[in-house]
């Protein structure tokens, strides 16, 4: 079995595992992870985050707190016909009830038109100080399994000498012992879940 096929099978398994979390477990884990991530908030620093889709762990309350503490929060922007992500400032969020007006939604990207893209001056990843990354899975060596689009791998691969501090974020059920790797795959140094911080040796 090739690494590509093995990863596809693992994605199916991990998506189901994440979706199977009970509502109470999900809410408790989300609250704890958002609090654990407070340590990465720095005033006047540029911090990249993701906008949770589907069963991904939400960072909404963390974004609100980071903005209140003076950090500038950025969200990924997908340019047509390119895998190199840009990042645009997240609109100021007053609370956790978010409307289209709050977000100043520019357009929607993706097969199902669900990924929000935001207006604002675009910057490349190397201008971020910290990047909180979504993932489907992570193994005992810090190898990250994403959705399969390859955007983060392509973006961070190009700027490998200038990349920000990388932090993987997710639920503990997304941890596995081993993920098959390919040349373009990236490794992240720390994973934050409801079980705490897990650090990996740099490869």
- The yes-or-no verdict on residue 97 having pLDDT over 70 is no
- The Cβ of residue 3 has, within 10 Å, a number of other Cβ atoms equal to 13
Q: What pLDDT shows up at residue 203?
A: 47
Q: pTM for the whole thing?
A: 0.90
Whether 3 maps to a domain, the answer reads no
Is residue 186 a contact partner of residue 144, using CB atoms and an 8 Å limit?
A: yes
Average pLDDT over residues 21-29: 97
- Which CATH number characterizes residue 63's domain? 3.40.50.10420
How far apart (Å, rounded) are the C-alpha atoms in residues 125 and 95? 27
Whether 8 maps to a domain, the answer reads no
**Predicted confidence band of residue 106 (pLDDT cuts 50, 70, 90):** low
Is residue 24 a contact partner of residue 30, using CB atoms and an 8 Å limit?
A: no
Q: Which of 23-32, 111-120, 136-145 has the lowest mean pLDDT?
A: 111-120
What range defines the domain where residue 108 resides? 26-199
Q: Which pairing describes strands 46-48 and 72-77: parallel, antiparallel, or unpaired? A: parallel
Whether 5 maps to a domain, the answer reads no
Q: What pLDDT shows up at residue 201?
A: 81
Whether 10 maps to a domain, the answer reads no
CA atoms within 13 A on the CB side of 55: 19
Total structural domains in the chain?
1
Average pLDDT over residues 63-71: 95
How wide is the angle at C-alpha 180 spanned by C-alphas 156 and 149, nearest 5°?
Answer: 45
Whether 122 maps to a domain, the answer reads yes
Q: What pLDDT shows up at residue 182?
A: 85
Whether 78 maps to a domain, the answer reads yes
């Amino acid at each position: 079995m090739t690494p590509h096929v093995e990863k596809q099978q693992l994605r199916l398994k991990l998506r189901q595992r994440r979706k199977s979390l009970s509502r109470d477990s999900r809410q408790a884990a989300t609250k704890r992870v958002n609090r654990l991530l407070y340590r990465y908030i720095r005033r006047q620093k540029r911090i990249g985050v993701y906008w949770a889709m589907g069963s991904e762990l939400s960072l909404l309350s963390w974004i609100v707190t980071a903005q209140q503490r003076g950090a500038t929060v950025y969200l990924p922007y997908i340019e047509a016909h390119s895998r190199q992500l840009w990042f645009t400032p997240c609109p100021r969020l007053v609370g956790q009830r978010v409307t289209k007006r709050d977000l100043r939604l520019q357009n929607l990207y993706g097969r199902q038109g669900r990924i929000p893209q935001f207006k604002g001056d675009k910057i490349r990843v190397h201008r971020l100080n910290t990047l909180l990354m979504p993932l489907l899975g992570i193994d005992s060596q810090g190898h990250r399994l994403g959705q399969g689009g390859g955007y983060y791998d392509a973006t961070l691969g190009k700027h490998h000498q200038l990349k920000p501090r990388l932090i993987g974020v997710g639920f503990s059920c997304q941890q596995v012992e081993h993920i098959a790797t390919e040349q373009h795959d990236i490794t992240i140094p720390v994973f934050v879940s409801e079980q705490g911080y897990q650090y990996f040796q740099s490869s």
